[in-house]
Structure 1
């Protein structure tokens, strides 16, 4: 497995950094958070104009597609900037799922508009007290779609919700317009200040053409992509937090010495560096396998994604706390950028499964393989 970034991924990461620095610097993000904006529309339009929302739309003829690696590179850079856009559920998960599994009618209606940023996609997966995507409590039957989803990102800005539900033959993934009768969207308070919502479905009509093909396999692929998206965002978040903390430790002096020269601080920063590298490498590994660039055994790709999500939780927890502790009183200032990195890292830690949840799933997967 080659962990060297592709030339395209490196170029796209630089392009994304330039766009974020120009369109959505820290002051802009703070303003959007204060206003509880459902999305950073200016940044979203710029990403669409640069072609970054459709990186995963093409289908490779030989089954090996580098676009997952490239899309992950963009998602990581957006995490660095705490971008207030649904890039992960839209571009890393939604677009490739539509390209591969949507009916001709659905693909014609949505895919081009999603690539252009004219239609916003998000995913409604999690349920309160029940995270088993293979056995959702939300039901799709003759009476329509009924159930409740929690922690749905950017739902108020979304045009289409990709909903995991229990169908007659097992779990399915359906593309449901957010404004369809029977859909109720209520804002929730989230740790990381990223807009998330509770979404209720009450007998919502879903056409057969709005159900993606593949059943349980498509649901599993969706969960892998969504977890990879969260992990990529976390990789950028903790990397930026550690960079800011290292810079502060070099500049802040006590007893006429930079605090970074004290052993206890240096050890915390060194541990943080290991965490950031571990998360980055496991995200790259998962993206590589999802790209189809290596032959895999049953469950190997999902195991790689769950490993990345575990590190997203562990690294997020440790680096976030190191950031606050080393910054001292500054780190406790809720208006300071480093505290917002702390909040985003904590939200990513628990989104789509905390460390114990994914370790339990990973253990079951490895047990079955053994």
Structure 2
């Protein structure tokens, strides 16, 4: 594959960077965390106005400006938002929900898709039930008439969401159900490592709409969600590494910049390799999922497992490196670098930890 970003991805990265530089400042992030805001509403409106929420929607939904872009472009935006620690459900909404609604929602969900594209509706995902749990083997169930019963955990931005993408068990296997907020849906806030809005959601015979495609759609939803979080983590890792490198260039100890010390330089070099590996595995998974290569779903899923492993493993190492290079400053919970650490730890365990991703990758390779 060609790892060169598409022209559209490059342009979108620049546009998103301009937006986050203005709105997603460390000071604003700290204030949103202190206020326990359910979403960064100002940033959401700006991202929506820039057309970044509907990149993967067909042009007949987006309008004349639609370009029918793919995961290559949505992951580029997700990475840039991750670098800014944006308080938005972009991986769940734009990377996963919009293309799923467009491809499998049909007329029943066309209105929701239109609102999701314009930002008038927020869509998140409720797929996890326990750490290490296979999201494609849920205990949450859906009846023949689309009513969902069960409990999901680690649901991001659920309080701000107008609808949730849910993976539930049916008589024919796992399916994706879109459940809109309302009767039968109870949201309870839970404190998260990353200080981002996370909730548990209980469904009690909640009405929903089942997407077509059955188990294949459920597997694709899992892949898109994992890829979205891996892309966010790639941005987080890049931001943490940049902050550590800048500090090493400026901080003096024993009359020298600490970046000139061999131990510090080697630690940063290892972090750079980790960041590059994560970036490239995310690009490969996005390329395969976008349909740019006729390799089939199995290879694309294996690429997603690989990116998820690097998101967890590299995220863990680089986050610790950034804190250690900063020394005592890195332990200050009010310092921006500590937020990179917390976000990386949250992403590390979202939709499967490193051992979970490796186990699924190993099983996929054995099946070949």
Q: For this structure pair, what is the TM-score category when the shorter chain's length is used for normalisation?
A: over 0.9
| Whole-Å separation in 2 of the counterparts to 1:330 and 1:348 | 23
SS of equivalent residue, structure 1 residue 127: coil
Shift of residue 65, structure 1, vs aligned partner: 6.5
Cα distance change on mapping 1:244 and 1:152 into 2, 3 Å: same
CA contact (8 A) 2:226 2:308 kept: yes
Give me the TM-score of the superposition, normalised by structure 2.
0.96
SS of 2:88 mapped into structure 1 = coil
SS at match of 1:328: helix
Q: What does residue 165 of structure 1 align with? A: 168
Matching residue of 2:100: 97
Aligned to 1:338: 337
Q: Give yes or no for contact 2:132–2:356 (8 Å, CA) kept in 1.
A: no
Match of 1:122 among 124, 133, 137: 124
Aligned to 1:348: 347
Aligned match of 2:327: 328
Corresponding position of 2:64: none
SS in 2 for 1:156: coil
Question: Is 2:256 the counterpart of 1:253?
Answer: no
Structure 1: gaps of 5 or more residues: none
Question: How many positions carry a matched residue from both structures?
Answer: 361
Instruction: Give matches, 1:1-370, under 5 Å.
Output: 1-58=1-58, 66-107=69-110, 109-128=111-130, 131-141=133-143, 144-179=147-182, 181-206=183-208, 210-369=209-368
The separation in 1 between residues aligned to 2:131 and 2:69, in whole angstroms, is: 36
Comparing 258-267 and 65-74, the one that deviates more? 65-74
Deviation at 1:306, TM superposition (A): 0.6
Deviation at 1:133, TM superposition (A): 2.2
CA–CA distance in structure 1, aligned partners of residues 207 and 89 of structure 2: 25
Deviation at 1:128, TM superposition (A): 2.3
Deviations 1:207-240 (A, max 9, x none): xxx1100010000000000000000000000101
| CA displacement at 1:178 relative to structure 2 | 1.6
Per-residue displacement from partner, 1:160-217 (whole Å, max 9, x unpaired)?
A: 01111001111111111122x11110001100011110000112233xxx11000100
Identify the range of structure 1 (142-151 vs 71-80) with the bigger mean alpha-carbon deviation. Answer: 142-151
Shift of 1:134: 2.3
Cα deviation for residue 16 of structure 1 reads: 0.3
- Gaps in structure 2 of 5+ consecutive residues: 61-66
Residue 141 of structure 2 contacts residue 150 of structure 2 at CA under 8 Å; is this kept in 1? yes
Deviates more, 1:214-223 or 1:131-140: 131-140
Q: CA deviation at 1:105?
A: 2.0
Instruction: Tell me the CA shift for residue 59 of structure 1.
Output: 7.0
Partner Cα distance (2:204, 2:122) in 1: 22
Q: Which of structure 1's runs of 4+ aligned residues deviate more than 3 A? A: none
Residues 71 and 286 of structure 2 are in contact (CA less than 8 Å); yes or no, is this contact kept in structure 1? yes
- Residue 43 to residue 115, structure 1, CA distance change in 2 (3 Å): same
SS at match of 1:191: coil
Normalised TM-score (structure 1): 0.95
- Cα displacement string for residues 287-330 of structure 1 (whole angstroms, at most 9, x for unaligned residues): 00011011114510000001001000011000000011010110
8 A Cα contact 1:65 1:291, kept in partner: no
